[in-house]
Chains A and B, each alone.
Chain A
Amino acid sequence: MSLRVIGRLEALLERVQRNAASPRSAAVDAELVPAPSAGTEVGLSATPVDALPITAQASPSTAPLEEEELLELDEVVVEEELPAAPVSAPRPVAATLDEALSEATELGIGEEYEPISHPAPPQSGPMSAPGVLGSVASPRSVEFEVTLSEPPPPPPPGRPPMPTLEQLGAVIDLEEEARADFELEVVEERSEAVVPADELELELPKSRAPDGLGQLTPAAVAHASLAEALSEAASVAPAVDELEELEPAKVAAAPAVDAVDELIELEPAELAAAPAVDTLDELDELEPASEAPAPPSAPAAAAVAAPPTPPDAVGVTVVERTALEPAYVARVSPSAPAPLPATFLELLDASLALGSEE
């Protein structure tokens, strides 16, 4: 028997003893109205005050009670009597605790206490088909919807598994009609890019159009034309055997060009004036181009003809790092450099000797 039952039994025993000692209280108990339930508002009861029989017998005061006082009294009495069960007649007081317990057993006290039991584990019921989700289900009848698809086929041996487009979330599904339109656009663009060679003719200015090059043709057509032009140029250019007969002035008169635009401005005769050599020996027989005056429109040729003299870096020795300027170096040591001293002391002595010869 739990402590709670024992406590209630002791309270019951004390109450029985108190009732036995006070006959007036026993009479009051006999005339009590049924106790309100726990959820009833006692203080604001709708029961008329004058209908309560307890007010006439429970209060010994001769003065008439006010309505509020009656409410308070009713509230107090009811609170005190709430735990008490209505009895019709006084019972004999139990002499000992054992007797009280036996009486309580006879009265059925304690039967209302049930052992605490754990709730049954949730059952793993069968899964229902889709369509039941829209109805309200009780918590114990949760239904699941599981849709299983066909497992992906295993990857071929020797290759890592590749994610599918569905796994990557990038599934592009073109409609058949849109796909057809897309392909059609591509085909149309290709048709614009391919132009027959005989339909493309661009006129160049006469001053820039050498003979035979007045028309631009697509690459495939120009390839054949270039071969023909090269064969023609080879017939115009002097042969290797004729190079010895060329005057140095003519060789030097070959203009030096450094840009494509300058090449376009050249006349076909100037292009033919450039000697063609096949071997280094033939190149050595030619006069250097620096002997002839360079044309004003060819600064690169002038730079090659007269390269800057390398700075005379002799005469200054810097250990670990140098920040000397070439002009200062040339000014300090215009002649042959002095031999580098073998030791630091020799350098110091040479420096100390400066200015002492005057």
Chain B
Amino acid sequence: MAEQRFDPTHVVHFDVARGHIELQGASSRVLIPASSLLDLLLAAGDDLARDFGHRLGTEIGRRLSARFPHLKELSIAGMTDHLGGELALSGLGALTVERWGQALVLKLKGSPLAEGGEYVLAAVLEGVLQRALARDARAVFLAGDDDGLRFLFVSEGAAQKVEGWLAGGASWPDALALLQQRSAS
């Protein structure tokens, strides 16, 4: 059966007379400069910033669940389409799903929070997967460049290992290869 494509028609409504911005299935929005938001999050600290990201991701996951009751049956392409659409509506960047062996890597390109807001974006993605798929996954920030920001989604134990390898100077592809080898042995 063909999956329904993401349709953003009439999702965002600008009520100029009342001065409101409404997102379908969500609370009121506020259009603010991304740089100002990033400055605020950096000044708030890691814990508050991650909490903010989790709440934002949870809301996105709730909208996904409300739109697709059978969200767990979505294919990789379908989830990429709808999750990427919701993230794009929030202005967080363009989503790409990569599979490195058995590892799931999500990549965000063109995000205005890329410079300094990597952990906020990781928290957003964690909140989405937790709310939409009921999975507690840790998002490990692998690397960021002009190609985008890559996040690896593994368990808490595997995340600590990968973060240790990355801190030891290993490149993120080497860390992924090492994770695969340790799991296979």
Contacts and interface: CB of A to CB of B under 8 A. Distances in A.
Nearest to A356: B155
A316 B102 contact: no
A328 interface: yes
A132 to B, nearest CB: 80
B183 A354 contact: yes
Nearest to A330: B177
Contacts of A357: 183
Contact of B158 (A317, A321, A343, A354): A354
A123 interface: no
B72 interface: yes
Contact of A355 (B75, B96, B135, B158): B158
A342 to B, nearest CB: 7
Interface of B: 72-80, 84, 96-104, 129, 133, 135, 137, 147, 152-155, 157-158, 161-162, 173, 176-177, 179-180, 182-183
A332 B152 CA distance: 15
Contacts of A315: 100-101
A347 interface: yes
A318 B98 contact: yes
Q: Which has the most chain A C-beta neighbours within 10 Å: B75, B80, B155, B177?
A: B75
A355 B137 contact: no
B98 A355 contact: no
A342 B75 contact: yes
Per CB-CB distance, the 4 closest pairs between chain A and chain B, nearest first, are: A355-B158, A344-B79, A351-B104, A317-B99
**What band does the interface of chain A fall in when counting residues whose beta carbon is under 8 Å from B?**
20 to 34
A325 to B, nearest CB: 8
22 contacts: A316-B98, A318-B99, A324-B98, A328-B176, A331-B173, A332-B176, A332-B180, A333-B101, A333-B180, A344-B79, A345-B74, A347-B104, A348-B153, A351-B153, A352-B153, A354-B103, A354-B155, A355-B155, A355-B157, A355-B182, A355-B183, A356-B155
Interface of A: 315-325, 328, 331-333, 338, 340-345, 347-358
Contact of B73 (A317, A322, A343, A348): A343
Given A344-B76, A355-B155, A355-B161, A323 B102 contact: no
B76 A347 contact: yes
A348 B147 CA distance: 23
A344 B78 contact: yes
Contact of A316 (B74, B80, B100): B100
A353 B129 contact: no
B183 A317 contact: no
Contacts of A356: 155, 157-158, 183
Contacts of A338: 101-102
Contacts of A345: 72-74, 133, 135
Given A317-B98, A354-B103, 9 more contacts: A319-B96, A320-B84, A331-B177, A344-B97, A348-B137, A350-B102, A351-B152, A352-B153, A353-B155
